Structure formats: structure tokens, C-alpha cells
């Protein structure tokens, strides 16, 4: 091997070494831990609840508008209660009547009522006897062609009618004298219980005719108007709650190792002069394509992870959708 050949081999070795060093440097740069400060861009998010009536009736009043602040217990809307109040009044009247029936069954008839029933039997007996005798007489006259068939039929009908009245009077006297059977009393008490249950249902429906704010918050949407038909499946308002607020942001996979749940962060809002303190409360386990609402255009087609940074908004200055900058 000549000196020239050795020299060429030496140059080739040097070039290969340089290429390997450069490749190693590039690999290290691409895979190195990123320790630069982390800044995420996102928007304020809040919990929302759809408020509905638990009854079906026409809406009478709508007391708040979109953007109004409400407090727990505030009356937001009411239903037309006239049909419900009429139902309650009817149930109360029926219950009072049925209670009197049950009390009479338990107490039995008074002596004067028994005497009255006995007198009614005697009167019915006399009428039945007279009608029967009259029918017999008419039958004899009809046999001798002294009266028409119609006259005989009238006498027969009266005899049967008075006999039925006598049987009814005798049954009423026996009931007054002996009292009601236990199964009749049980049936009357069951009817009373059914009426009381119906009253409770009507009173509950009346209590559901008022829509109450479940928590403090801001009315975001007013979805119906007075005169509309309300139902459990028809939202009336959308309420943004004050209880929990967070910043929804997205982070790329190569920066994911820089955050963890419980980590504190500084949240900056353009319209709020003082930065807020936040804490990472949620990191998604699943990658997704960044929503179009993200601020950085080059990340919109990238796979990222959703992050929620919860903040304490004591002054209630944060509003749904506000852009926010989160710095770790």
C-alpha cells in the first residue's frame, strides 16, 4: 500500500468520524429533555347545568335574563298553578267526605238512625202489602173482563216496585242494626288512602311549579318564554356555575413530561390585571387532534393532550371562553 493510498484511507476515516459525530449530535438534540419554560394557551371553562321544570304545564313567569347573576335559592321561573290548585282542592274535598264515611263505618249507626231505618221498613212493608193486595184484586177483575190488560200491568209493576223498596229498606235496617262488615270498612279505608296519596302527588307537583337556582352562577342561556309548554325534557335556562373554573389547554407529547397533576402554574388573563394561581388537575390519557380554537395554528393538526388547570376565582372575574396564558 502506497503512502498516497494510506493518506486517502486516513481522510476517509476522518470524514466518517465527522459524520458519526454530527449524527450523534443531531440525535441528541432531537431527543434531549426540554427544560425551557413551558407556556400553554387555552380558554376559561366552567361547569354548566341545564335547568328544567319537573312538571308539564304552561310557563307563567320568567324572572331573569341572559347574563344575570343569580344566587342559590332564587326563583328563576314559575308555571301556571291554577290547574294544580284546583286538583288539590278537589282531593281535599273528597278526602273530607271519605273520612266521614270511614268514621261512620267504625262508629256504627246511632239509636235514632236504627229507629228511623225500622220505621222505613214498616212503611215499605205497608206499601208492599197494599200493592200486592191491589194486584190480586186487579187480577180477579181482569179474569172477568172488568178491566183492561194495561190496568193489570200497572198494578203488577207497582207490586214489584214496592217489594223491591221493601227489600232495600230491610237491608238498610239490617246494616244499621248489625254494623258494617270488616271487608267493607277495609275497602273504605283503602279508598281514603288512595285519595290521600293523590293529594300528596298534587302538592308535590305544585312544589315543582317553581324553578329554583341550585347554586350561585350566571344565566348563560334563556331558552323559553312565558306561554311556552314546559316539561322535564325541555331546558328553561343554562346556568354557568361559580363553584369550579379551569383553563382548558393542550400540550404536545414532547412537552408532556414537564407537567404533572398537582403542579402549580401562573394563569394570565388579558382583562385581569393580577395573575391567578392555578393547579394542574387533569391530564388526558388519550391523544387527540388539537381543536381549531387553539391559538397556535401549527399545532392544530398535531396530536396533543388536553390539560385542565383549575383556578380559584375569589373575585369572580373569569368568564366562559376567556383566552388565558398558563406558565409553568
12-40 tens-digit pLDDT: 667 777 777 887 777 766 666 555 678 89
Give the residue-averaged pLDDT of 260-283.
90
Rg (C-alpha) for the chain, rounded Å, is 46
In 3-state terms, what secondary structure has residue 226? coil
DSSP conformation class of 239: E
Q: Per residue in 233-265, pLDDT tens?
A: 999 999 998 888 999 999 888 888 889 999 999
Give the residue-averaged pLDDT of 66-93.
94
Q: Per residue in 288-297, pLDDT tens?
A: 876 655 555 5
Query: CATH number of 49-79+210-237: 3.40.50.1970, 2.60.120.590, 2.60.40.10, 2.40.50.100?
Result: 2.40.50.100
Residue 93: which pLDDT band, with cuts at 50, 70 and 90? very high
207 and 55 Cβ atoms separated by less than 8 Å: no
- Above 70 in pLDDT, residue 299? no
Quote the cell numbers at residue 279. 393547579
Stronger pLDDT, 243 or 266, i.e. the higher one: 266
Closest among 169, 184, 209 to 53, alpha carbons compared: 209
Quote the cell numbers at residue 281. 388537575
254 and 240 Cβ atoms separated by less than 8 Å: no
**E strand or H helix that includes residue 289:** strand 288-289
According to DSSP, the β-strands at 237-252 and 75-79 are unpaired
Superfamily of domain 34-47+241-327: Efflux pump adaptor protein, beta barrel domain (2.40.30.170)
Which pLDDT score, from 0 to 100, does residue 16 have? Answer: 77
Distant-in-sequence, close-in-space partners of 189: CB < 8 Å, separation ≥ 6: 102
Q: DSSP letter string over 159-221?
A: HHHHHHHHHHHHHHHHHHHH---HHHHHHHHHHHHHHHHHHHHHHHHHHTTEEE-SSSEEEEE
Which pLDDT score, from 0 to 100, does residue 177 have? Answer: 61
Residue 179: which pLDDT band, with cuts at 50, 70 and 90? low
- Above 90 in pLDDT, residue 68? yes
Which pLDDT score, from 0 to 100, does residue 104 have? Answer: 80
Which pLDDT score, from 0 to 100, does residue 85 have? Answer: 94
Residue ranges of domains in the chain: 34-47+241-327, 49-79+210-237, 84-205
Stronger pLDDT, 38 or 181, i.e. the higher one: 38
Residue 98: which pLDDT band, with cuts at 50, 70 and 90? very high
Residue 62: which pLDDT band, with cuts at 50, 70 and 90? very high
Which pLDDT score, from 0 to 100, does residue 170 have? Answer: 82
Which pLDDT score, from 0 to 100, does residue 193 have? Answer: 95
Distances (CA, A) of 175 to 20, 114, 185, 190, 255: 116, 9, 13, 21, 92
Q: DSSP letter string over 37-96?
A: PPEEEEEEEEEEEEE--SS-EEEEEE---TT-EE-TT-EEEEE--HHHHHHHHHHHHHHH
- Above 90 in pLDDT, residue 146? no
- Above 70 in pLDDT, residue 110? no
Which pLDDT score, from 0 to 100, does residue 34 have? Answer: 53
Which pLDDT score, from 0 to 100, does residue 292 have? Answer: 53
Distances (CA, A) of 266 to 270, 276, 279, 326: 13, 6, 9, 6
Give the residue-averaged pLDDT of 45-70.
93
Angle of CA points 76, 78, 89, to nearest 5°: 150
Q: What is the distance between the alpha carbons of residues 187 and 189, in angstroms, rounded to a whole number?
A: 5
Which pLDDT score, from 0 to 100, does residue 88 have? Answer: 95
**E strand or H helix that includes residue 250:** strand 237-252
DSSP conformation class of 291: P
Residue 118: which pLDDT band, with cuts at 50, 70 and 90? confident
Percent of the chain topping pLDDT 90: 44
Residue 317: Cβ-neighbour burial (10 angstroms; 0-12, 13-18, 19+) = middle
Q: What is the distance between the alpha carbons of residues 193 and 190, in angstroms, rounded to a whole number?
A: 5
Q: Per residue in 147-175, pLDDT tens?
A: 888 988 898 899 899 989 988 888 887 77
Amino acid at each position: 500500500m502506497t503512502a498516497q493510498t494510506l493518506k486517502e484511507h486516513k481522510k476517509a476515516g476522518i470524514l466518517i468520524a465527522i459524520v458519526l459525530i454530527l449524527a450523534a449530535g443531531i440525535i441528541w438534540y432531537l431527543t434531549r429533555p426540554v427544560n425551557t419554560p413551558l407556556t400553554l394557551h387555552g380558554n376559561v371553562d366552567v361547569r354548566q347545568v341545564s335547568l328544567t321544570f319537573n312538571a308539564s304545564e304552561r310557563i307563567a313567569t320568567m324572572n331573569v335574563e341572559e347574563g344575570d347573576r343569580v344566587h342559590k335559592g332564587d326563583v328563576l321561573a314559575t308555571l301556571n298553578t291554577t290547574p294544580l290548585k284546583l286538583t288539590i282542592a278537589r282531593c281535599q274535598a273528597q278526602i273530607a267526605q271519605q273520612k266521614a264515611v270511614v268514621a261512620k263505618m267504625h262508629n256504627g249507626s246511632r239509636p235514632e238512625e236504627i229507629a228511623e231505618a225500622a220505621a222505613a221498613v214498616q212503611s215499605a212493608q205497608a206499601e208492599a202489602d197494599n200493592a200486592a193486595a191491589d194486584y190480586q184484586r186487579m187480577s180477579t177483575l181482569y179474569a172477568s173482563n172488568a178491566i183492561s190488560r194495561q190496568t193489570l200491568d200497572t198494578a203488577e209493576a207497582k207490586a214489584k216496585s214496592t217489594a223491591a223498596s221493601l227489600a232495600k229498606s230491610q237491608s238498610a235496617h239490617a246494616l244499621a242494626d248489625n254494623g258494617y262488615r270488616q271487608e267493607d270498612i277495609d275497602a273504605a279505608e283503602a279508598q281514603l288512602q288512595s285519595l290521600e296519596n293523590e293529594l300528596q302527588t298534587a302538592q308535590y307537583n305544585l312544589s315543582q311549579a317553581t324553578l329554583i337556582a341550585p347554586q350561585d352562577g350566571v344565566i348563560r342561556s334563556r331558552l323559553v318564554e312565558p306561554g311556552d309548554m314546559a316539561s322535564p325534557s325541555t331546558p328553561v335556562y343554562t346556568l354557568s356555575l361559580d363553584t369550579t373554573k379551569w383553563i382548558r389547554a393542550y400540550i404536545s407529547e414532547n412537552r408532556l413530561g414537564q407537567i404533572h397533576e398537582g403542579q402549580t402554574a401562573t394563569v394570565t388573563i388579558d382583562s385581569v390585571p393580577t395573575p391567578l394561581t392555578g393547579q394542574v388537575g387533569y391530564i388526558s390519557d388519550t391523544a387527540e387532534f388539537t381543536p381549531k380554537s387553539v391559538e397556535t395554528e401549527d399545532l392544530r393538526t398535531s396530536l396533543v393532550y388536553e390539560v385542565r388547570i383549575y383556578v380559584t376565582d375569589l373575585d369572580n372575574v373569569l368568564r366562559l371562553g376567556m383566552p388565558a396564558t398558563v406558565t409553568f
